[in-house]
Amino acid sequence: MEYRKLGTTTIEVSVICLGTMTFGEQNTEAEAFEQLDYALTQGVNFIDTAELYAIPPKAETYGLTERYVGNWLHKSGRRENVILATKVVGPGADWLPHIRHGKMRLDRANIEAALNASLQRLQTDYIDLYQLHWPDRKTNFFGQLGYEHDTQDQPIPIEETLQVLGDLVQAGKIRHIGLSNETPWGTMTFLQHAEQKALPRVVSVQNPYCLLNRSYEVGLAEVSIREQCGLLAYSPLGFGVLSGKYLGDANPPGARISLFPDYTRYCSAAAEQATRDYVELAQQHGLDPAQMALAYVNQRPFLTSTIIGATNMAQLQSNIASIDLQLSAEVLAGIEAIHDRHPNPSP
């Protein structure tokens, strides 16, 4: 396993991070325990979860993923062996009425309520990395393009959110803070307030990044490198699309898009053609397409960790093993050629 510094901290996290959002929906608690046990034997020390999970979000499974992780931490006694990350949700009254009655904002009341509930579910006294799952303000995330400013939007000020997080760091409940689904402007504003007000500095940005969506490179990659605020890449396989298993209108049983067909972000005609080309490139070089896609993400200079997810042990083993794959110059050139033909089909 390879390890990298988490931002400006002294913490070293595994380049492969175990994502857990399937726990409680596609995976039972026993399967979650098996995944966690195996990941640690392979050197993974970084676990990512969120109060929102399991996915897709619904009242019946809200917080269940954290509960499974907490039960494993209690049973295994491995809390000191892992870097534990979780998240607080942003506004979402229209689609998340089951979370704090749909009145979530990134203010003191909501952040403290969310954190305390997460600590209880996770059966721990502190979170190593506490992340804002998405911005409080109206901006572009979850694949939205064409930013339109809303003059009626009244978000919680970033400085106010940061002050609350700072108080929780001082209280010992959080070690470090991170962002998710953020923009370059948002990330730099958090960093600016931290410097000017002596508040905690964000150490990571958890955003989507894969061969079908390299939009992070446009602005945030430079921020990550210059500000030591690295990417935690989620959806590195584009909901599993880059494995090639959905090509030809296939619907493999138990796969995410087979179960949840509304998850179409990586399923456009352009994305399918790009995926076909990437799969063919991998096959030409004797590579597993999913491992090639993950290895590409693993090797990015602005990356801190790649968040993988799996619903069975074969997937998990293969995904973790991607850390041992170094892509040749010829393969990398082939990837760039495909990207030139099909740039970011799934932003």
Active site residues: 53
Phi first, then psi: give them for residue 27, nearest 5 degrees. Answer: -125, 135
Residue 107 has what DSSP assignment?
Answer: S
Distance CA 316, CA 337 (A): 29
**Residue 307 β-bridge partners:** 17
Distance CA 247, CA 225 (A): 35
Q: What is the DSSP string of 138-203?
A: ----TT--S----TT--PPPHHHHHHHHHHHHHTTSEEEEEEES--HHHHHHHHHHHHHHT-PPEE
Rg (CA), the chain: 19
Tokens of 38: 């195996």
CA atoms within 13 A of residue 60's CA, in its CB half-sphere: 3
* 274, 212 Cβ separation under 8 angstroms: yes
* 54, 65 Cβ separation under 8 angstroms: yes
By three-state DSSP, how is residue 128 classified? strand
Q: Which H/E stretch holds residue 273? A: helix 269-284
Phi first, then psi: give them for residue 61, nearest 5 degrees. Answer: -115, 5
Tokens of 268: 């456009």
CA atoms within 13 A of residue 1's CA, in its CB half-sphere: 22
